[in-house]
């Protein structure tokens, strides 16, 4: 069997201003066979309260779809949703929200084999179109579960512009991180005698290039919002083609995981933690990090660790714990002597 026959691509990928006013037309243009089928609208209370007209408009357009409010992105609520989808013969799952809502809707649609329509309200990371869901399991534990990418991804630029700009910064950071992720992936392939998938590699590299070299570095510009939307969705496709998160996740993500796992009190978005990690990772890889700091500055991202309450000792400790968060993952950290002077030097330059 050809390896490439195993992957799925979304049938519809639309980025447009005010497209949430006619999601039904867009979806049925691509998927006429699901017209008239039963749908469920998955979101959370905050968004339901903030955008009541958008929610009721879309529900009406999909035959009076009921609203399912996600409380916690955990395995049990995703299973409960999947059970309801199966018992009530629901064909279409519409996810409207950010990471937690979308991961729950994506996983529930996957296990119930429903058509999943992804309507992101923020551009905070590349999980919106990835073939994985991160769900809570027991206590504070979370697990990354394989699933299917969305059948349709529809981004409304006016909705994204209403979201807090910190969410968009996070999406930029997650995309910038591909600079060091693809490098680590190639390194790992060499070390393990395997090969990277050339297309997944190129796509991830292009995601980075499209944001790093975008002429319009303004997070409120509609053209840029389109570029970032595409970069995040294509990042998901790179993971789908590669069959792993490797094209989008290397040592910079291990840094972000170490913060999540060992310093839960540090308030920093996933994407910003990734961007911070990418500066260190680029140094370890012997590559230019000034470029990354400069690019982030132009967009308004703050890469000074002190801004997030990360002092020098903490910064060093996070890096020292990073590789241990995913011991099976080969990255530049396997070949790096993380001596304190070097880490402090990186820290100092990030403060500039």
What residues line the site for Zn ion (CB under 5 A)? 174
Structural tokens at position 112: 């119930």
Whole-number minimum distance, CB 127 to Zn ion, in Å? 7
* Of 209, 239, 261, 7, the residue nearest 127 (C-alpha): 239
Cβ-contact 80, 57 below 8 angstroms: no
User: Considering beta carbons, is residue 40 or 268 the nearer one to Zn ion?
Assistant: 268
Which residue number places its CB atom closest to Zn ion?
A: 174
User: Considering beta carbons, is residue 51 or 277 the nearer one to Zn ion?
Assistant: 277
Task: Give the phi and the psi of residue 265 in degrees, each rounded to 5.
Answer: -80, -15
User: Considering beta carbons, is residue 93 or 100 the nearer one to Zn ion?
Assistant: 100
Whole-number minimum distance, CB 303 to Zn ion, in Å? 16
Whole-number minimum distance, CB 224 to Zn ion, in Å? 19
Whole-number minimum distance, CB 253 to Zn ion, in Å? 6
Using alpha carbons, list the distances in angstroms from residue 84 to 77, 92, 108, 249, 326: 11, 12, 9, 34, 35
DSSP 5-25: GG----SEEEEETTGGGGHHH
Whole-number minimum distance, CB 271 to Zn ion, in Å? 7
Report the sign of the C-alpha dihedral through residues 21, 64, 100, 239, in that order: negative
Whole-number minimum distance, CB 34 to Zn ion, in Å? 31
Whole-number minimum distance, CB 99 to Zn ion, in Å? 10
Contacts 24+ apart (CB under 8 A), 113-118: 114/85, 114/90, 115/31, 115/34, 115/91, 115/151, 115/152, 116/148, 116/150, 116/151, 116/152, 117/23, 117/27, 117/92, 117/93, 117/150, 117/151, 117/152, 117/154, 118/150, 118/152, 118/153, 118/154
DSSP state of 30: H
User: Considering beta carbons, is residue 54 or 180 the nearer one to Zn ion?
Assistant: 180
3-state secondary structure of 34: helix
SS3 content of the chain, % helix, strand, coil (to 5): 60, 10, 30
DSSP H or E segment with residue 41: strand 39-43
User: Considering beta carbons, is residue 174 or 289 the nearer one to Zn ion?
Assistant: 174
Whole-number minimum distance, CB 173 to Zn ion, in Å? 8
DSSP H or E segment with residue 84: helix 75-87
DSSP state of 120: E
User: Considering beta carbons, is residue 174 or 197 the nearer one to Zn ion?
Assistant: 174
User: Considering beta carbons, is residue 174 or 240 the nearer one to Zn ion?
Assistant: 174
Whole-number minimum distance, CB 296 to Zn ion, in Å? 15
User: Considering beta carbons, is residue 155 or 272 the nearer one to Zn ion?
Assistant: 272
Structural tokens at position 159: 């909705």
User: Considering beta carbons, is residue 112 or 168 the nearer one to Zn ion?
Assistant: 168
């Amino acid at each position: 069997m050809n390896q490439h026959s195993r992957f799925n691509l979304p049938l519809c990928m639309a980025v447009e201003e005010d497209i949430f006013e006619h999601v039904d037309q867009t979806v049925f243009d691509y998927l006429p066979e699901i017209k008239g089928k039963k749908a469920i609208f998955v979101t959370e209370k905050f968004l339901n309260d903030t955008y009541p007209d958008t929610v009721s408009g879309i529900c009406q357009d999909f035959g009076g779809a009921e609203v399912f409010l996600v409380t916690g992105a955990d395995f049990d609520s995703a299973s409960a949703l999947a059970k309801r989808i199966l018992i009530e013969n629901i064909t279409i799952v519409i996810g409207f929200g950010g990471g937690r809502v979308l991961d729950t809707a994506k996983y529930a649609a996957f296990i119930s084999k429903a058509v999943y329509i992804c309507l992101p309200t923020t551009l905070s990371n590349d999980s919106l179109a990835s073939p994985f869901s991160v769900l809570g399991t027991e206590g504070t534990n979370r697990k990354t579960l394989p699933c299917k990418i969305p059948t349709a991804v529809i981004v409304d630029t006016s909705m994204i512009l209403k979201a807090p700009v910190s969410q968009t910064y996070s999406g930029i950071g997650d995309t910038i991180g591909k600079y060091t992720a693809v490098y680590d992936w190639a390194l790992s392939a060499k070390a393990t005698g395997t090969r990277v998938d050339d297309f997944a590699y190129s796509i991830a590299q292009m995601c980075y290039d499209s944001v790093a070299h975008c002429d319009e570095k303004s997070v409120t510009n509609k053209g840029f919002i389109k570029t970032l939307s595409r970069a995040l969705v294509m990042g998901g496709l790179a993971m789908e083609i590669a069959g792993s998160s490797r094209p989008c996740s290397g040592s910079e993500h291990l840094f972000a995981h170490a913060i999540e796992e060992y310093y839960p009190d540090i308030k920093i978005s996933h994407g910003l933690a990734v961007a911070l990690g990418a500066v260190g990772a680029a140094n370890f890889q012997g590559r230019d990090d000034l470029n990354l700091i400069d690019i982030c500055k132009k967009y308004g991202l703050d890469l000074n660790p002190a801004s997030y309450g990360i002092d020098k000792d903490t910064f060093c400790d996070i890096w020292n714990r990073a590789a241990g968060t995913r011991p099976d993952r080969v990255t530049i950290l396997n070949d790096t002597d993380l001596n304190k002077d070097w880490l402090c030097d990186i820290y100092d330059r990030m403060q500039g």
